[in-house]
Chain A
């Protein structure tokens, strides 16, 4: 199996996120970065497939200089090689532009399986993986929590949790999957893994290397642009009741019924 995992470097989930002074992007002062948690399930699933079937695992990212750390993390976990697409012209792009660039890079090889996280925890769009499947003309299953490969039949059975039920999808390979928590339990990098990662091949590519039209991506090609960002509406503390249990409950029920009118 030839497997690609597309990853994104994002601020750690416990980070406090504030808008920058111009309100166009977030204030990155003091932030620490991680591999997007949902992408880790993709990396782990790829590595588990590699343990069972002869496979190669390529991790791909698009991002600034700093994103190389995220690729090295995945190489340390056991991925074989990495592709870093890096170009200043990519700034200000939307999900469609990102998908266009990734599609071009992925089309240069034949991958049997391409993994994405179900969404990146920064822009929460959940669109890139599905866009890529569509642009590549491949079938996909999004938000999977179980993948049962049938390589000899050239297909897979993927499960995804929908509202109150599980959808079981029969899909032909090659295919794209976006990964949800529950798919597996991602491993930690070992010390030998971290040492080996430094020697593994990491290719850096620009838009020109890929042959992508620079006007179709980045800020110039974006179909959707961020106008402004701000902190969400601040909720203020309301009525905190500190009486004996039965009085507190009585008071709460009265407030819910008469003031909030939700009972």
Chain B
């Protein structure tokens, strides 16, 4: 038993950055896991993306293409990967903790009878191939270290933005093998019939490198444009505190924190957010935190790298202009 299989998630024919992060993580663990680092990509007409996975560290790419795989299918994807993992006698299966990975990972682990570690921020291999994973629990209030008790079919999802991406410099030859689904994809009991784009945010919160979030300090939904303008200047995603969501200023998909999204961007800018424990739990693993708040005693300042005590209605427009100037060079 050996080898790592990385599920290379693609949406609309584009491989997600977190899949490349997973490939890099797999290469890092390779000497301990043994065997090859292989990638599996599933979809409809995604062969071009399969080639790119070699540069990101895959020694072999398995490609499953089918018109019925145009949309994600829990059963279809799990059948294909489980079949492949059994053939390869795979030790470790990695994927991103995205909406797809959070669905597929547990399904696959149960199908293969393997352990599942979700939303990992650190991975190690000990004792003859056993996975040790570090994962935040209690919404980030506690860091847990879990250890696998079996060395085969271990499934882990990794939190986006935590693991680095390192491109391979050597010119590997592309080894792509086509695989097919072991089950009839046309008659699955659950099928995605439509994917409707939500215009809400251009950059997805959980995958964003920079996030600008607004809270009660904005005083009303009409002032969220101050946050959105800064986000636009930074190429950032827009988030909101629970208070702002509960007040109906933004839909739930914007909520950062417990009962919302847990995020780990490079830079998190909290505007008018006091920093309730539920909010801090969801964003305190960000690399850099900036707080803008008029209350110098707001808890958010306790965890901020940089803070401005002041009126966000004055600060935000100035900051947006300053960022634009820097960005324009």
Residues of A213-243 contacting chain B, CB below 8 A: 222-233, 235, 237-242
Q: Is B194 an interface residue (CB 8 A)?
A: yes
Q: Complex Cα distance A233/B197, Å?
A: 37
- Which chain B residue shows the least CB distance to A250? B322
Rounded to whole Å, the gap between the CB of A233 and the closest CB of chain B is 8
Q: Which residues of B contact A252 (CB under 8 A)?
A: 290, 306, 308, 319
Q: Is A260 an interface residue (CB 8 A)?
A: yes
> Are B190 and A227 within 8 A (Cβ)?
no
> Are B201 and A164 within 8 A (Cβ)?
yes
Contact with B along A240-263 (1 / 0, CB 8 A): 111001101110110111001011
Q: Is A106 an interface residue (CB 8 A)?
A: no
Q: Which residues of B contact A228 (CB under 8 A)?
A: 144-145
Q: Is B115 an interface residue (CB 8 A)?
A: yes
Q: Is A50 an interface residue (CB 8 A)?
A: no
Contact of B195 among A125, A167, A172 (CB under 8 A): A167
Contact with A along B300-329 (1 / 0, CB 8 A): 011111111111001100110011001100
> Are A139 and B197 within 8 A (Cβ)?
no
> Are B118 and A125 within 8 A (Cβ)?
yes
> Are A143 and B99 within 8 A (Cβ)?
yes
Q: Which residues of B contact A262 (CB under 8 A)?
A: 210, 266-267, 287-288
- Which chain A residue shows the least CB distance to B148? A224
Residues of B198-228 contacting chain A, CB below 8 A: 198, 200-202, 204, 206-207, 210
Q: Which of B106, B287, B310, B311 has the most chain A CB within a 10 Å cutoff?
A: B106
Contact of B148 among A125, A127, A223, A241 (CB under 8 A): A223
Contact of B106 among A13, A127, A145, A171 (CB under 8 A): A127
Taking A223-B149, A238-B305 as contacts, is the C-beta distance between A249 and B204 under 8 angstroms?
Answer: no
Residues of A122-155 contacting chain B, CB below 8 A: 122-127, 130-131, 133-135, 138-143, 145
> Are A253 and B190 within 8 A (Cβ)?
no
Q: Which residues of A contact B181 (CB under 8 A)?
A: none
> Are A162 and B106 within 8 A (Cβ)?
no
* Main DSSP-derived SS at the A contact region: mixed
Contact with A along B131-156 (1 / 0, CB 8 A): 01001111111111111111000000
Contact with B along A35-57 (1 / 0, CB 8 A): 00110000000000000000000
Q: Which residues of A contact B304 (CB under 8 A)?
A: 237-238, 240
Rounded to whole Å, the gap between the CB of A153 and the closest CB of chain B is 13
**B interface bracket (residues with beta carbon within 8 Å of A):** 35 or more
Rounded to whole Å, the gap between the CB of B82 and the closest CB of chain A is 10
Q: Which residues of B contact A160 (CB under 8 A)?
A: 99
> Are A260 and B71 within 8 A (Cβ)?
no
Q: Is B109 an interface residue (CB 8 A)?
A: yes
Q: Complex Cα distance A134/B195, Å?
A: 24
Contact with A along B241-281 (1 / 0, CB 8 A): 00000000001110100111000001100000000011000
Q: Complex Cα distance A145/B144, Å?
A: 29
Rounded to whole Å, the gap between the CB of B157 and the closest CB of chain A is 9
Taking A169-B193, A249-B318 as contacts, is the C-beta distance between A13 and B145 under 8 angstroms?
Answer: no
- Which chain A residue shows the least CB distance to B326? A263
Q: Complex Cα distance A222/B150, Å?
A: 10
Contact of A17 among B75, B142, B252 (CB under 8 A): B142
Q: Which residues of B contact A238 (CB under 8 A)?
A: 304-307
Q: Is B107 an interface residue (CB 8 A)?
A: yes
Q: Complex Cα distance A198/B72, Å?
A: 45
> Are A163 and B308 within 8 A (Cβ)?
no
Q: Complex Cα distance A145/B72, Å?
A: 18
Contact of A134 among B107, B251, B303 (CB under 8 A): B107
> Are B99 and A162 within 8 A (Cβ)?
yes
Residues of A88-138 contacting chain B, CB below 8 A: 94-96, 99, 121-127, 130-131, 133-135, 138
> Are A164 and B198 within 8 A (Cβ)?
yes
14 contacts between A and B (CB under 8 A): A125-B116, A127-B116, A139-B188, A163-B98, A170-B190, A170-B193, A226-B146, A235-B284, A238-B307, A240-B307, A252-B306, A253-B322, A256-B267, A256-B288
| Partner-B contacts on A (CB < 8 A) | 11, 13-14, 16-17, 19, 26, 37-38, 94-96, 99, 121-127, 130-131, 133-135, 138-143, 145, 157, 160-172, 175, 181-182, 222-233, 235, 237-242, 245-246, 248-250, 252-253, 255-257, 260, 262-263
